[in-house]
Amino acid sequence: MQAFSSAIAGLLASRAVLEGVGVGDSTASPTSALLLSILQDSMGRIATILFAHRLGTSLEPECKMYRLAADIFNDCAMLMDCLSPVFPKPARVMILSLSSCLRALCGVCAGSAKASLSAHFAKKGNLGELNAKDSSQETVISLLGMLAGSVVVSWVTTPMATWATLIALLSIHLGTNYAAVKAVSMNSLNRQRANIVFGHMLSYEHSGVEILSPKEVSEQERIFERDGVLRVGDVVFGSGRIGVSMQTLLVCINAAIPTQSGALITMPVKVADLLNLFASEGYILWVNDTLRSDTSLKEVLIVLKKDCTALDQLKAWMHALLLVHESDDRDATAPPKAEKSNAETQLNKLNTTLELRRQLFDQHIPVLKSKGWDLDAAALETRAGVRALIPIQKKQSVNRATT
Render pLDDT for 334-371 as a digit per residue (tens, 0 to 9). Answer: 444 444 446 677 888 899 999 988 888 888 888 898 89
Nearest CA among 11, 348, 42, 368 for reference residue 155: 11
Which sign does the torsion angle of CA 121, 123, 127, 130 carry? negative
Q: What is the rounded CA–CA span in Å between residue 358 and residue 282?
A: 13
Measured torsion, CA atoms of residues 346, 352, 358, 364, in degrees rounded to the nearest 10: -110
What residue ranges define each of the domains in the chain, with the CATH number in brackets?
1-183 (1.20.1250), 191-371 (no CATH)
Query: Which run of H or E residues covers position 264?
Result: strand 264-265
For position 49, what pLDDT does the model report? 93
Could you list the mean pLDDT of each consecutive 10-residue stretch along the chain, which spans 403 residues? Answer: 84 82 64 83 92 85 92 93 86 90 92 85 78 85 88 87 91 92 90 92 71 91 90 88 88 64 57 87 84 64 91 93 73 46 77 89 88 87 84 65 48
Kind of pairing, strands 229-232 and 235-242? antiparallel
Angle CA 179–185–191, to nearest 5 = 105
What global pTM score does this model have? 0.82
